[in-house]
Structure 1
Amino acid sequence: MNISNEERADRLFTVKNAIATQQLEGLTVDPETVTDLEAWANGEMTLDDAKARCLARINQRAKWT
């Protein structure tokens, strides 16, 4: 998917802001989720795909507990 440099910058800002918000709340975003969010920010996947991958990881981890 092609996105403009302006859109990429806006998305990267959004991702960094979301991660920083989690950190301020004392939480850590796992590296796989960061990778997926950065892929979305760079136009390499849709936000729906990033969300689906994150939810799949959560569901998989829930099976282990």
Structure 2
Amino acid sequence: MIKIEVDMALCQHYGQCVFEAPNIFKLNDDDKLEYVASADDSERDNVESAVDVCPMQAIRIVE
């Protein structure tokens, strides 16, 4: 399992992470980011891509 953290003070809800890891990240009806804090290792590549594309660098994987 991998643990994911999003600094919601930095997040501007652009949603780029949703395109990279749709099983982990989503925008709710108010266009605010929601995410799961832990995911199966099979999602690691997708989450790493989401970390890379986040314009605010608000996402990180906790090792």
Assess same fold via TM > 0.5: no
* TM-score normalised over the length of structure 2: 0.29
The answer to which structure, 1 or 2, has the higher relative contact order (CA under 8 A, 6+ apart) is: 2
* TM-score normalised over the length of structure 1: 0.29
Flag the structure with higher helix content.
1
